[in-house]
Structure 1
Amino acid sequence: MSTTTAPAIRVQGIEKSYGELHVLHGVDLDVAPGSIFALLGSNGAGKTTMIRILSTLLKQDAGTATVAGADVATDPVRVRESISLTGQFAAVDEILTGKENLVLVARLRHLRDADRIADDLLARFSLTEAGARRVATYSGGMRRRLDIAMSLIGQPTVLFLDEPTTGLDPEARIEVWQVIKELATQGTTVLLTTQYLDEAEQLADRIAILHQGRIIADGTLAELKALLPPAIVEYVEKQPTLEEIFLALVGTGSKNEPSEDLS
Structure 2
Amino acid sequence: MVDVLEAGGWGLLAGSALLLGAVLGYTLRIPHQVVASVMAFGAGVLLSAVSFELALEAYDRSGMLPLVLGTVAGAAAYTAGNVLLARRGARHRKRSGQVRGRSQPSEGQQAGSGLALALGALLDGVPESAVIGLGTAEGGAVSAVTVAAVFISNVPEGLSSSAGMRGAGRGKGYVFGLWGSIAAASMVAAAVGSAVAGALPASAVAAVTAVAAGAILTMVADTMIPEAFEEAHQAVGLIVVAGFLVSFALSRA
TM-score (structure 1 length as normaliser): 0.29
Normalized per residue, the structure richer in strand is: 1
Q: Which structure's relative contact order is higher, taking Cα pairs within 8 Å and 6+ residues apart?
A: 2
Normalized per residue, the structure richer in helix is: 2
